[in-house]
Amino acid sequence: MPHITTADGTQIYYTDLGEGAPVILSHGWPLSSDAWQVELKLLADAGYRAIAHDRRGHGRSSQPWNGNDMDTYAAVLAALVDALDLKDLSLIGHSTGGGEVVRFAAQHGMGRVKKIITAGAVPPLMVKSAANPEGTPIEAFDGIRAGVLKDRSQFYLDLAESFFGANRPGAEVSAGAKYDFWRQGMLVGLKGAYDCIKAFSETDFTEDLRALDVPIFIAHGDDDQIVPIAAAAEKSIRLVSKGTLKVYPGAPHGIYGDYQEKLDQDILEFLAE
């Protein structure tokens, strides 16, 4: 399996498919690059070089004790870009991955990144504060930490319901999709999973968004129960200079079903512009 080794000895697994202009896809928590399997094939079939990595601590990458924070995630992404010598790069990030690609682009990607797409992304800041009253109370993230520590297997099964909106009346979400979410979650090391909760919820991406000088397409479902749109996309679009916001009515956090089909088409159209 293809890996790069970072400066601290961590091995990062990645998938590299197709030929053409490079596109890197960054996954959400607690998933892996497997979450992007459909999009990897879609992009490779469309003439792009599609690349997705397992974040450190996740999937088939190493499970280091330290470095499970957004600055290190972005630095590791930079190391992958350097190792593959990628230029004129487009970035796609879902949820936590949306924060990762925004930080990478702002702090490492100047002159290398040409377009960014985020979906259900965590920027600018998830946690509620006096300056961010629309955010999610810290107690909710404490509950996620407690669930991961107590019985992470059952916690991931339960989380899949709201992740895909399967708890909504009339929702049609397959058991397979929910079990695949569980499968990917169970590959995450406990320390990495626990630390990443702080990384995705308490990292402030405000200045990263302001620093971006390339077009960014911000996609978000208006029924996202994991990353509520009011504290995320609706704020992010006001911080970027070249942004386009598209709200998907009724769409959940997880990229699935009709939402996935519509988003994938929008991804291809935005990359082709």
Cα 174 off chain centre by: 22
Whether the Cβ atoms of residue 197 and residue 29 lie closer than 8 Å to each other: yes
DSSP helix/strand/coil, 90: strand
Q: Quick one: tokens of 208?
A: 């990263």
Tokens 């896809």 belong to 25
Q: Is 61 one of the annotated active-site residues of the chain?
A: no
CB contact at 8 A, 93 and 26: yes
Whether 21 contacts 50, CB under 8 Å: no
- 263 and 255 in contact (C-beta within 8 Å)? yes
Say how far residue 120 (Cα) sits from the centre of its chain.
8
Helix H or strand E encompassing 207: helix 206-211
CA distance 170 to 122: 27
**Eight-class DSSP state of 91:** E
CB 91 within 8 Å of CB 114: no
Structure-token match 């169970």, residue found: 186
Q: Pairing mode, if any, of strands 48-53 and 11-17?
A: antiparallel
* Candidate list 32, 53, 208, 224, residue with the active-site label: 224
- 224 among known catalytic residues: yes
Judge whether 58 counts as a catalytic residue: no
- Which residue of the set 95, 208, 220, 236 is catalytic? 95
Element (H, E) at 206: helix 206-211
Both tokens assigned to 148: 């991961």
Give the residue numbers marked as catalytic: 95, 224, 253
